[in-house]
Structures are given as C-alpha cells and as structure tokens.
C-alpha cells in the first residue's frame, strides 16, 4: 500500500470528469487500498480517485468514528434524491483548512460496484448522504467550494496560493 498525493484546489485536474471502470481487477483493488490508506492518514471521511489524479469512477468513504466501516463505490450512481434538503458544513482534503455550509439532498439512494465487482445498492442520510454526494461531485469534476459565492471562491484560492508560497519558502 502507498500514500497517494492529493491534488489541491484550484488544480485544473480536479475538474476532469472521471471515466467508468471497465473491469474491477487487481489494479483497481490496489487503487482502493491506496486510496483508503491515504484517506485515513489525511485524515478524512471520503476520497474520490479524481483527488489523487486517477480519473476513474472510484470512491472510498468511512464516516464511522473508529474507521471501521470502509465503503468502496466503483461506478457509483445516485438513483434517487429526496426533495428534502439539509445544510452541512463541509470540508475537503483537496481544500485543506476550508469549511463552509453546502445544501444537499437529505436522503439518497446509491448503486454501484464494490471492490469485488459485485453490485450493491443502499440508502443514505445524514453525514453519509452528504459524503456520497460530495465525492460523486469530484467524479464529475466539481469541488464543493463551487457551491459558494464567487467572492468566497476567490478568497479561498488566494488563501491556498499564499499557503503554497509559504510552504515553498520553507523548503
């Protein structure tokens, strides 16, 4: 297993649309293991392959308190969304230190494949529903800050660029 470098907003590669996985094979299973290790180490509750510069429809999620409920979503699709919405404060491993409120469907139904290529379907609400919607946005080339005002987006970009300059000076 290996830790994978996480792309940082506003990297243009975060806006690439992920392609479906044709075959769930050892390469995909290794990617899933590496993504899970990267997510747990970061630490985060979700990671899309897009965030590690692999543009295939693969997501790992674990919203448990003790990292005991890893969910692998390959070629995931949201098949239903409730009309009811909820507002959650979201953060993102690709936008470190930035948190803001985003409105999303309160409940969803998801289907896809697991790391063994088996079909699954589940319903989610609360943090899991938010996380699934957030990660599937990544697969479509969208970062959560794009739900925010243009002014907030520009402030976030400026803050990240400043941090990157400071990091480069330390090296």
On the question of a cis peptide bond just before residue 43, with omega within 30 degrees of 0, the verdict is yes
138 annotated ligand-binding residue: yes
Residues 110 and 78: beta-carbon distance below 8 Å? yes
| N-term to C-term CA, the chain | 27
Query: Hunting for tokens 């987006």 — which residue is that?
Result: 153
Give the contacts of 21 (CB within 8 A, at least 6 positions apart).
28, 56, 57, 58, 74, 75, 113
CA distances from 150 to 15, 104, 155 (A): 17, 19, 9
Q: Which two tokens stand for residue 144?
A: 């959560």
**Does the annotation list 134 as a binding residue?**
yes
Q: Considering 90, 121, 135, 146, which one is annotated as catalytic? A: 135
Structural contact between residues 96 and 9, judged by C-beta atoms closer than 8 angstroms: no
| Catalytic annotation present for 135 | yes
> Is 92 labelled as part of a ligand binding site?
yes
d(CA 154, CA 43): 26
- Going by the annotation, the residues of the binding site are 92, 134, 138
**Annotated catalytic sites, by residue?**
135
- Going by the annotation, the residues of the binding site for Fe cation are 92, 134, 138
């Amino acid at each position: 297993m290996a830790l994978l470098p996480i792309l940082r907003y506003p990297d243009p590669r975060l806006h690439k649309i992920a392609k479906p996985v044709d075959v769930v094979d050892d390469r995909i299973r290794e990617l899933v293991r590496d993504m899970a290790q990267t997510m747990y180490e970061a630490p985060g509750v979700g990671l899309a392959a897009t965030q590690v510069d692999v543009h295939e429809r693969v997501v790992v999620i674990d919203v448990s308190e003790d990292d005991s409920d890893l969910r692998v979503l390959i070629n995931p699709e949201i098949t239903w969304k409730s009309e009811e919405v909820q507002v959650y404060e979201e953060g993102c491993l690709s936008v470190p230190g930035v948190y803001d409120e985003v409105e999303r469907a309160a409940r969803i139904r998801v289907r896809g494949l697991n790391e063994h290529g088996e079909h699954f379907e589940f319903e989610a609400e609360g943090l899991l529903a938010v996380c699934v919607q957030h990660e599937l946005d990544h697969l479509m080339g969208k970062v959560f800050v794009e739900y925010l005002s243009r002014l907030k987006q520009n402030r976030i970009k400026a803050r990240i660029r400043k941090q990157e300059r400071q990091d480069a000076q330390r090296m």
